[in-house]
């Protein structure tokens, strides 16, 4: 019997998840059906319950339902708990298990696909929202030399920093503090600024020309953030398509017990930045 999965969001028309998981299933010979479901803004839980009743095995969750997905779970991973959000659910024996693979997918794209291990590197994360929260534990586990969380609301960044026990230097800063801190090997834009064509208020001096600038948004070519980095002399710029595929592969492996090869899918979805 074909196992059913889905991605649930609102809106959902832009999603690449059915294509990604369809390619994964074909490559790994898994008998699954994967669909996109647009839930009403006030009807996420009801949509999930109905999908479970139809025999579903799991779902991915995208905006704006990641907090609700976390809240309705019976069991939550440490990563999901720190993020306060879930991007994947698994249904087993009447229980709902929540996970968050966003940070794991981001780290794998950077360390494996972009060939930039974070150990010993200075890392700057712009933003202290859900995306940054999801990435924090995997990034710290990679043992950077230093990690800085910068946010317009410094108190929000400080709250996030206070919620983890870090074995590496970890601090919260305002954007105005960054210029005096020198350059970073990796700068990640985890803000929503690029979704509206805006630029986080960050000085060009935070970028190391030998480092990497990573934009979580994908398919938007050279965003204002990536353009700032490129103008600052950074050769290594990337958007979030690799993260998208890698987090999907983590969820697929969690559900099916086999991890697909991500490179062919990333290559298929990659849009030239220029």
Known binding positions for NADP(+):
78, 127-131, 216, 240
pTM: 0.94
Stretch 131-145: mean pLDDT: 94
Mean pLDDT of 54-70: 95
Whole-number pLDDT of residue 246: 98
Q: Domain check: are 220 and 260 in the same one?
A: no
Are 264 and 189 in the same domain?
A: no
Task: Determine, yes or no, domain membership for 274.
Answer: no
Known binding-site residues equal 15-17, 62, 78, 87, 102, 127-131, 216, 218, 240, 247
pLDDT > 90? residue 16: yes
Give yes or no for residue 195 having a pLDDT over 80: no
Tell me: do 96 and 137 sit in the same domain: no
- Give the chain's domain count: 2
Per-residue confidence band for 272, with pLDDT thresholds at 50, 70 and 90: confident
- Do 87 and 55 fall within a single domain? yes
Two structure tokens written together for 190: 């985890």
**Average pLDDT rounded to a whole number, residues 50-74:** 96
The 3-state secondary structure of the chain reads CCEEEEEEECCCCCCCHHHHHHHHHHHHCCCEEEEEEECCCCCHHHHHHHHHHCCEEEEEECCCCHHHHHHCCCEECHHHHHHCCCCEEEEECCEEEEECCHHHHHHHHHHHHCCCCCCCCEEEEECCCHHHHHHHHHHHHCCCCEEEEECCCHHHHHHHHHCCCCCCCEEEECHHHHHHHCCEEEEEECCCHHHHCCCCCCCHHHEEEEEEEEECCCCCCCCHHHHHHHHCCCCEEECCHHHHHHHHHHHHHHHHCCCCCCHHHHHHHCCCCC
CA distance 65 to 86: 9
Tell me: do 189 and 258 sit in the same domain. no
Q: Does the structure show a pLDDT above 90 at 115?
A: yes
Mean pLDDT for 87-108 is 96
Residue numbers in the known binding site for shikimate are 15-17, 62, 87, 102, 218, 247
Residue found under tokens 């309705």: 72
Domain range enclosing 19: 3-100+242-269
Assess whether 215 and 122 both reside in one domain. Answer: yes
* CATH number of the domain bearing residue 263: 3.40.50.10860
Shared domain for 49 and 165, answered yes or no, is: no
Q: Are residues 66 and 164 in the same domain?
A: no
pLDDT reported for residue 9: 96
pLDDT in tens, 203-254: 999 999 999 999 998 888 899 999 999 999 998 999 999 999 999 999 999 9
Tell whether 162 and 233 lie within a shared domain: yes
**Mean pLDDT value across the chain:** 95
User: Residue 1's pLDDT is what?
Assistant: 85
pLDDT of residue 18: 98
- Name the residues annotated as catalytic: 66
Q: What is the CATH number of the domain that holds 213?
A: 3.40.50.720
For 98-110, the pLDDT digits (tens) are 999 999 999 999 9
Short-list 125, 134, 127, 75, CA closest to 103: 134
């Amino acid at each position: 019997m074909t196992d059913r999965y889905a991605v649930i969001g609102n809106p959902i028309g832009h999603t690449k998840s059915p294509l990604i998981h369809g390619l994964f299933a074909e490559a790994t010979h898994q008998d699954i059906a994967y669909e996109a479901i647009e839930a009403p803004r006030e009807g996420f839980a009801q949509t999930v319950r109905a999908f479970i009743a139809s025999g579903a095995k799991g779902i991915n969750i995208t905006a704006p339902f990641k907090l609700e997905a976390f809240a309705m779970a019976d069991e939550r991973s440490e990563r999901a708990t720190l993020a306060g959000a879930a991007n994947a659910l698994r249904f087993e024996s009447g229980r709902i298990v929540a996970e968050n693979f966003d940070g794991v997918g981001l780290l794998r794209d950077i360390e494996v696909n972009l060939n930039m291990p974070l150990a010993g590197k200075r890392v700057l994360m712009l933003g202290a929202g859900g995306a940054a929260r999801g990435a924090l534990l995997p990034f710290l586990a990679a043992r950077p030399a230093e990690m800085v969380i910068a946010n317009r609301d410094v108190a929000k960044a400080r709250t996030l920093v206070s919620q983890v026990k870090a074995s590496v230097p970890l601090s919260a800063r305002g954007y105005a503090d960054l210029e005096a801190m020198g350059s970073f090997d990796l700068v990640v834009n985890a803000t929503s600024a690029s979704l509206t064509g805006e630029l986080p208020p960050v000085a060009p001096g935070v970028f190391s020309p030998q480092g990497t600038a990573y934009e979580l948004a994908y398919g938007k070519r050279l965003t204002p953030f990536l353009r700032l980095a490129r103008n600052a002399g950074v050769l290594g710029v990337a958007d979030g398509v690799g993260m998208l595929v890698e987090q999907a592969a983590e969820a697929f492996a969690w559900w099916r017990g086999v991890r697909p090869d991500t490179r062919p899918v990333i290559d298929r979805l990659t849009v030239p930045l220029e």
